[in-house]
Amino acid sequence: MNRWQKEETMPTIKHILFPVDFSDRSLSAAPFVAEMARRHDAKVTLIAVAHPYYSGGFEAPPPVDAQFLLDSVKSQLDSSFLTEFAGLKVDRMVDLGDPAQIVTEFAAANKVDLVMMPSHGYGPFRQLLLGSVTAKVLHDAHVPVWTSAHTSDEPVGEHSAVRNILCAVDASPASIDLMRWGANLAKSLGATLRLVHAVPTMEAWPERPMNRDFEETLSENARHTIQDLEKAADLEVPVCVCAGTVADVVREEALHHHADLVLIGRGALQQTLGRLRTHSYGIIRHAPCPVLSV
């Protein structure tokens, strides 16, 4: 049983932004959005952004009349997601332009607490890369971003009711706030929380011989460091310290502990980051369940 030693303010999730493109991925993400909104009594804003194709460069007029395009998208949005969000407060809006920029600017200007979106769309090779819109939102948004499992198969609905949260942490003091955020989110969702930390394997140090004893020493030192950070966060939850690449360790531990959500500290990608935060995209690509980047 996870135990929190000190009462903390719950994460404020009162406004969720859900960008939609009417793809199967958007449809599959809708139950997750609805569940999060119901748990936090949050408003959901569905936003659909039309991005016209400019055949003659950006100075040339779009081949489709802008107002006609907006009206078409609005008509489709107004007739979509009617049952998925029944009983919830839902706003719908459409816009024209660069989807990532509009999503990011809307989130900043409208007190959005959480952006929820698929990690990518369908198409040749798309399963191998983060979708460009999602990658830009992850890079530029200053609010938490939830992304669906990045697999070639459709996300499974069994993770929509979050019961187990795996929080990936590095060994820096910056992880203290992430631990607290995760603990409070777990409490608000009635979920368990577990921490995971990756240490390098012998193969990760080709320039320097590294024996198994040294690897075990690294793991033990990391465990003590994470436990000290837990104390600073007034937190007491299980900790997994494993050797391997960050993305692989997080994936394996998520599978082993049946995680419904992986929590990571994304930060602003243009700033100097710790070892874990530079692996955000790798974690998202390989995680078997949705990832919430804070």
Domain harbouring 193, CATH code: 3.40.50.620
Please, which pLDDT band fits residue 130 given cuts at 50, 70 and 90?
low
Residues 85 and 129 in one domain: yes
Residues 49 and 87 in one domain: yes
- For 146, half-sphere exposure in the C-beta direction (CA atoms, 13 angstrom radius) is 27
Residues 177 and 257 in one domain: yes
Residues 177 and 274 in one domain: yes
Residues 33 and 134 in one domain: yes
Q: Name 186's Cβ contacts closer than 8 Å, sequence gap at least 6.
A: 2, 165, 192, 193
Residue at 4 is within a domain: no
Residues 140 and 21 in one domain: yes
Where do the DSSP E strands lie in 130-172?
145-147, 164-168
Residue at 189 is within a domain: yes
Statement: residue 150 has pLDDT above 90: no
Residues 64 and 147 in one domain: yes
Residues 140 and 228 in one domain: no
Residue at 187 is within a domain: yes
Total domains in the fold of the chain: 2
**Single residue among 109, 130, 152 that ends a domain in this structure:** 152
Please, which pLDDT band fits residue 2 given cuts at 50, 70 and 90?
very low
Give dist(CA 184, CA 236) in Å, integer: 13
pLDDT of res. 53: 58
pLDDT of res. 231: 95
Statement: residue 292 has pLDDT above 50: yes
Please write the tens of the pLDDT for every residue from 199-235. 987 555 554 555 667 778 888 899 999 999 999 999 9
Residues 40 and 135 in one domain: yes
**Single residue among 87, 118, 152 that ends a domain in this structure:** 152
Give dist(CA 198, CA 219) in Å, integer: 8
Please answer whether residues 121 and 21 qualify as being in contact, where contact means their C-beta atoms are separated by less than 8 angstroms. Answer: yes
Residue at 31 is within a domain: yes
Higher pLDDT, residue 273 or 16: 16
Residues 141 and 218 in one domain: no
Please write the tens of the pLDDT for every residue from 38-70. 999 999 999 999 876 554 445 555 566 788 889
Residues 288 and 251 in one domain: yes
pLDDT of res. 3: 35
Strands 261-264 and 291-293: parallel
pLDDT of res. 127: 39
pTM confidence score: 0.84
Query: What is the domain range of residue 42?
Result: 15-152
Residue at 128 is within a domain: yes
- Which two tokens mark 49? 């952004």
Give dist(CA 46, CA 66) in Å, integer: 20
Residues 189 and 135 in one domain: no
